[in-house]
């Protein structure tokens, strides 16, 4: 039998307008969108109906898997807790970030990320998860063992995004040593001498490995058709390097010139949704709202607060005349989907997956009242 669901009396957020109408789901896909109130079906009481959110960069799983320094939680329990919060925030497709490259900043051991990934595979096959989970490998190119960690994922079809990162001091995210001192010296309680040695080791590793590993990882991703992201680009030289590596996603650029150059080169510029909600970066870099004002902000990521991905588009559309709600929603739905080649979702259009979220919001923080993934209610 054909499975059908009708959602009626909704404010349906389309590509360029908000339609008051009804939506028909048939066999997991959007079958029809019509103006006006249907006589049957589920009355959503005038709430918004938006596409399921697509999260490209979240460290949230790590918070459940390693809730305290040195503590490792049961992997399946950690994944389920993460997944539940993701789905109830309206996220139907999530790229779980897995760290590649261990270092002295509490990095994970060889094989640990592979074990976590295997547990995600198993949880999906067993029907434990509400959202669809894919993998984003965060590759610390200055680490001596990043290629060994990456090797664990060479045959994994869930890997759809790889970011090339270098957190060595004095460049990119840590152009200013003030933030680096806060992150590493003060939090670790290092003496001046110990901190100087720490910085020197990081800078030496970056000089030795970063360029080599960037080139090799970009080559491997090109061979496998994996989307590549740059990370914390600060200069035009960084952007030129990203263009040479075939980068499609510019994550968290730390200067206006890098963001504008990336956008002009056809990359999707990603910034944190918490940055939008708070009005500033937690690490002292550029404010995402300023990039939005300049028209060079393309994608938002919840980063470390899942609900921020639903909250931030409303903040943008409330505060900026130039950004309508459909345009803001595209930053968390259709644009991230297009950037990573997921052409079957991210928009409310006939024939696409019925990944949908019912959102109640008059003012303030929105509430995800229901979430459907491929037509099945999951939250």
Of the two residues 87 and 199, the one the predictor is more confident about is 87
Any idea which of 112-126, 144-158, 185-199 has the lowest mean pLDDT?
185-199
* Closest listed residue to residue 347, CA positions, set 135, 58, 133, 29: 29
Q: What is the pLDDT of residues 254-299, one digit of tens each?
A: 999 999 999 999 999 999 999 999 986 655 568 899 999 999 999 9
Mind giving me the DSSP string for 181-245? IIIIIIHHT--HHHHHHHHHHHHHHHHHHHHHHHHHHHHHHHHHT-EEEEES--SHHHHHHHHHT
The residue whose two tokens read 């002295």 is 104
> Is 300's pLDDT higher than 70?
yes
C-alpha span between 177 and 170 (Å, rounded):
6
What domains can be seen in the chain, in order of their start residue?
Answer: 4-377 (3.20.20.140)
97 and 138 Cβ atoms separated by less than 8 Å: yes
Query: Quick one: average pLDDT of 52-71?
Result: 92
C-alpha span between 23 and 351 (Å, rounded):
12
Q: Is this prediction's pTM over 0.95?
A: no
């Amino acid at each position: 039998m054909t499975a059908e669901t009708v959602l009626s009396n909704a404010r349906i957020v389309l590509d360029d307008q908000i339609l008051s109408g009804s939506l028909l789901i048939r066999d997991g896909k959007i079958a029809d969108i019509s103006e006006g109130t249907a006589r049957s079906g589920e009355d959503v009481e005038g709430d918004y109906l938006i596409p399921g959110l697509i999260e490209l960069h979240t460290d949230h799983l790590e918070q459940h898997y390693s809730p305290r320094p040195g503590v490792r939680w049961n992997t399946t329990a950690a994944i389920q807790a993460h997944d539940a919060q993701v789905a109830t925030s309206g996220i139907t497709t999530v790229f779980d970030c897995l760290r590649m490259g261990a270092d002295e900043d509490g990095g994970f051991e060889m094989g640990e990320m592979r074990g976590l990934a295997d547990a995600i595979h198993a949880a999906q096959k067993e029907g434990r998860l509400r959202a669809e989970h894919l993998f984003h490998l965060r590759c610390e190119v200055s680490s001596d063992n990043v290629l060994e960690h990456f090797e664990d994922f060479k045959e994994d079809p869930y890997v759809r995004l790889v970011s090339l990162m270098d957190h060595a001091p004095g460049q990119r995210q840590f152009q200013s040593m003030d933030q680096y001192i806060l992150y590493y010296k003060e939090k670790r309680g290092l003496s001046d001498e110990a901190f100087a040695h720490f910085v020197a080791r990081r800078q030496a590793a970056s000089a030795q490995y970063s360029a080599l590993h960037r080139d090799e990882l970009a080559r491997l991703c090109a061979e496998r058709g994996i989307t590549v992201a740059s990370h914390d680009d600060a200069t035009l030289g960084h952007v030129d390097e990203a263009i040479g590596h075939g980068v499609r996603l510019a994550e968290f650029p730390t200067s206006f010139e890098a963001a504008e150059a990336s956008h002009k080169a056809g990359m999707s510029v990603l910034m944190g949704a918490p940055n939008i909600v708070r009005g500033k970066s937690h690490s002292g870099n550029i404010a995402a709202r300023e990039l939005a004002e300049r028209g060079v902000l393309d994608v938002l990521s919840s980063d470390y607060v899942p609900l921020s991905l639903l909250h931030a588009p409303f903040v943008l559309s409330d505060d900026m005349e130039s950004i309508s709600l459909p345009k803001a929603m595209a930053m968390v739905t259709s644009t991230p989907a297009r950037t990573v080649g997921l052409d079957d979702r991210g928009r409310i259009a006939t024939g696409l997956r019925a990944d949908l979220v019912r959102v109640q919001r008059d003012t303030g923080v929105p509430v995800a009242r229901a979430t459907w993934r491929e037509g099945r209610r999951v939250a």
